[in-house]
Amino acid sequence: MTDYDKMLKKMCHADGFIAALDQSGGSTPKALRLYGIKDDEYEVGEKSMYDCIHKMRTRIMTSPKFNGDRILGAILFEDTMNREVEGLPTAEYLWKKKNVVPILKVDKGLEAEKDGVQLMKPIPNLDTMCDAALANGVLATKMRSVINQADLSGIKQIVEQQFDFGKQIMAKGLVPILEPEVNIKSPEKQEIEAMLRAELMENLKLLRDDQKIMFKLTLPTVDDLYEQLVTHPNVVRVVALSGGYTRAEADALLARQHGVVASFSRALTEGLRDDMTDDAFDTLLDTSIGEIFAASKASGVKKELHAHK
């Protein structure tokens, strides 16, 4: 069995969740502030900023509490993939040393809002990024867009763009994770989610049997709203983003979504600080991972649901 097959099998069948370690240029300063790194310790958008965030991510990835027993995969920013952890390329370190599937964030950020949504900016070098991901032993990619209002035209555009990029990624031999995030503060959240599910199901009908994708979705207002996606033969896994909820809130919501597992970022690193001792850092990270793992497992990933995969 090739590494690709082993990674795909793990992603489809194993218990666990995805660690989202992919803060990019826009979200990095906030992540560093929460971690206790002051704004005057680096220059925004410059190498010094990426050095700081890579140091933080390296501390998480090298922790003895961070491993494939409870973590399915880790989403990486491109700069992180191009760096090393303990002398190995990051993706290789994750898979070979930690048994954690490497995933690459490929989007370039969001356009301004129009028709109630924020589409992704163009990704002109997507093929090149996919080639680099494959060369690094990456299984999957992730790309995010945002829905703010229940505008059917905008939602259709979001889903169409996600699937168009997804098909380009699949053609390269990678598994795309489509992330059409729903703004949890939208007063129309429940209506948006129903419209989004309908559009996702319609677009899944257009895929060939051999085309496999994943979804990263906002925790829904209506429990088990995405059950049809979880059981769909083209869908490897459905994962949930924390989306601004606290870890406790996100875990409670997640535990009610059968077959859905976590892909948390802020909720995973909540409370971690640069000035912690290694013991304190590892203890809190262990608690975070344990709680998110338990919520993902409580959501009841039934092996029989994935028998066709």
CB atoms within 10 A of CB 96: 13
Residue among 216, 204, 131 at smallest CA distance from 171: 131
CA angle at residue 75 from 269 to 222, to 5 degrees?
A: 75
| Residue 239, number of CB atoms within 10 A of its CB | 26
Residue type, 151: D
Mapping DSSP to helix (H, G, I), strand (E, B) and coil, where does residue 33 land? helix
30 is catalytic: no
Q: Could you confirm whether 55 is annotated as catalytic?
A: no
Residue 141: strand pairing partners: 104, 176
Residue length of the chain? 309
Exactly one of 98, 179, 181, 199 is catalytic; which is it? 179
CA–CA distances in Å: residue 266 to residues 18, 22, 94, 111, 269: 13, 11, 20, 23, 5
Q: Are 163 and 129 in contact (CB under 8 A)?
A: no
Structure tokens at 304: 């029989």
Alpha helices in 151-246 (DSSP H): 152-171, 189-204, 227-230
Place of tokens 């168009």: 164
**What amino acid positions are annotated as catalytic residues?**
179, 216
